[in-house]
Chain A
Amino acid sequence: GESVGLHLPTLSVQEGDNSIINCAYSNSASDYFIWYKQESGKGPQFIIDIRSNMDKRQGQRVTVLLNKTVKHLSLQIAATQPGDSAVYFCAETGGGNKLTFGTGTQLKVEL
């Protein structure tokens, strides 16, 4: 079936460095992508989104890149801080409003 997956289950970075979290998706009909941050015991928190008619979108300290040719999505976090430690999920909708989540990446920020 269709799936959204991540390349790296765990990512460790030094405080102040940039983080890059990757995501691959398989549904060619996917037209809307969202990155979420989830802290332990909490619901997902919206970070940034991008539609399929764009290839880059920037927010505060975060950038999402979309490469539709290879069905790849990435989240870049600039100047990573301890508070960024969490699990990050990409999610996508493919033509409907049902949101499918990727497997998640645990981001660990080392002091």
Chain B
Amino acid sequence: GAVVSQHPSWVICKSGTSVKIECRSLDFQATTMFWYRQFPKQSLMLMATSNEGSKATYEQGVEKDKFLINHASLTLSTLTVTSAHPEDSSFYICSSSGHSNYGYTFGSGTRLTVV
């Protein structure tokens, strides 16, 4: 079946530094990648949508200069949290569409803790 590999699974960083999260589609071409953020005991909130080779579309209230998304190939999308602050601590999840069966395949998530 379709698999999206997300790394790292967890990361702790110092305030002010940047963190990159990668999502790779292993056996299909991810034409579209969605990035979600999930705070404890809350739902998944869509941050942005990226299509291979074009600029990402950000949801209202999401700072595009802070959450940099790159989708340079059909198998790799990255989310970089720049100048991270403690309030950016969250669970970040990617999801791709492009697989024929279920339509959406999710990564395993990245737990970001900013100290």
Contacts and interface: CB of A to CB of B under 8 A. Distances in A.
Partners in one complex: yes
B111 A44 contact: no
A89 to B, nearest CB: 6
B107 A98 contact: no
B104 interface: yes
B93 A43 contact: yes
Given A34-B104, A97-B32, A99-B104, A44 B93 contact: yes
Interface in A15-60: 32, 34, 36, 41-46, 49
Contacts, number: 48
A99 B46 contact: yes
A43 B43 CA distance: 12
A41 B109 contact: yes
A46 B109 contact: no
A46 B42 CA distance: 18
Given A98-B49, A100-B46, A101-B43, A43 B32 contact: no
Nearest to B60: A1
Interface of B: 6, 32, 34, 36, 42-46, 49, 91, 93, 95, 97, 102-104, 106-109, 111
Interface of A: 32, 34, 36, 41-46, 49, 89, 97-104
